[in-house]
Amino acid sequence: MKIAFCCTNTKAEPWLEAFRQALPGVDIWEWQAATPGQAPKLADHAVVWSPPQSFIDEQTQLQNLFNIGAGVDALLKLNLPASLNIVRLNDAGMSVQMAEYVCHAVIRYFREFNHYDKDQIEQRWSYRKPAWRADFPVGVLGAGVLGSKVAQALKQFEFPVNVWSRSPKQLPGLTSYTGLEQLPAFLKASKVLVNLLPLTPDTENILNHAHLSQLQAGAYLINVARGKHVVDQDLIDLLDQGHMAGATLDVFRVEPLPPEHAFWKHPKIVVTPHTSARTLREESVAQIASKIKAVYAGQFIEGRVDKVRGY
């Protein structure tokens, strides 16, 4: 078994050491492009994050790409052989982190902690009138592994929680909406919108003026999926017009977020540096190693991506 490791902006050695411990006897190495005239070392499988097209072109014997994250949009932009499978992480510790982040953002908005931050700066002792949870229904766009975990976590705080997904999902205690025909009803039923959709041609720019304006007055957006889901100016316009109360954004069209971008200084926007759910190396290695073992045992592996749907 031969495995190539090709992960952009990732220190390879800790990952290689962990994989060698998890898969003893397996030949695993960090990929470097072959020099002209040199025969490339070919792998059976690859562990990747945003690999270049040259890697795919060179590694002609690959059977599976094991992505060290949940999002696979960067891989789907590449010219991939039809026979090459993409396998994403199911969770690997990310869902709990995501639930923490989203719950914090929702509660911060619901309890109006931003006003207390301002009070502290101005040394003012004041109270905010308690709000009713029933008046703050939360809508979760995307009901996969991460979305389901987030929705269930929010339910523990007794918020009304709605979920929307492309295919039918039945989650205990939650109201489910399915398909484009039910998207308007889902949006109108939500005051807080949490985006956890995969980025596909169908979902790019889905958080636009037409959709965001259907949210309840005083709506709040939390985007922890991909920056290209949001039409930036549409969001700013709705915030400035008062239809939306604010937004917490962890992902952006260009990362790092350029210094001149309006999001940085907008008084109703909280910016974080794509940190809502980081890949945890130990959990990721254990999961990928388990999947690789399953491949060689002829067993079914979870997380295979449908290249047409994009997830």
The helix (run of H) or strand (run of E) holding residue 64 is strand 64-67
| Residue at token pair 């690859």 | 46
Q: What is the pLDDT of residue 136?
A: 97
DSSP tag of 254: S
**Strand partners for 47:** 5, 66
Q: What is the pLDDT of residue 203?
A: 96
State pLDDT tens for residues 166-199. 999 888 889 999 999 999 999 999 999 999 999 9
What is the token pair recorded at 118? 């301002």
> Which is nearest to 138 in space by CA: 55, 216, 44?
216
Three-state SS at 245: strand
Measured distance CA(250)–CA(31) in Å, rounded:
30
State pLDDT tens for residues 193-250. 999 999 999 999 999 999 999 999 999 999 999 999 999 999 999 999 999 999 999 9
Q: What is the pLDDT of residue 37?
A: 84
Q: How far apart are the first and last CA of the chain?
A: 27
Give the number of other CB atoms < 10 A from CB of residue 252.
20
Catalytic residue positions? 226, 274
The helix (run of H) or strand (run of E) holding residue 105 is helix 94-110
pLDDT band of residue 147 (cuts 50, 70, 90) is very high
Ordered by where they begin, the domains of the chain are 2-92+279-296 (3.40.50.720), 94-271 (3.40.50.720)
Distance of alpha carbon 31 from the chain centroid: 26
92 has a pLDDT exceeding 80: no
Measured distance CA(76)–CA(47) in Å, rounded:
15
**Strand partners for 30:** 5
Measured distance CA(291)–CA(45) in Å, rounded:
11
Exposure class string for 47-58: b at 16+ Cβ within 10 A, else e: bbbbbeeebbeb
Sign of CA dihedral 249, 254, 255, 256: negative
| Residue at token pair 């719950």 | 103
| Residue at token pair 């997904």 | 165
Residue type, 25: G
State pLDDT tens for residues 289-298. 999 999 999 9
pTM of the model: 0.90
State pLDDT tens for residues 94-127. 999 999 999 999 999 999 999 999 999 999 999 9
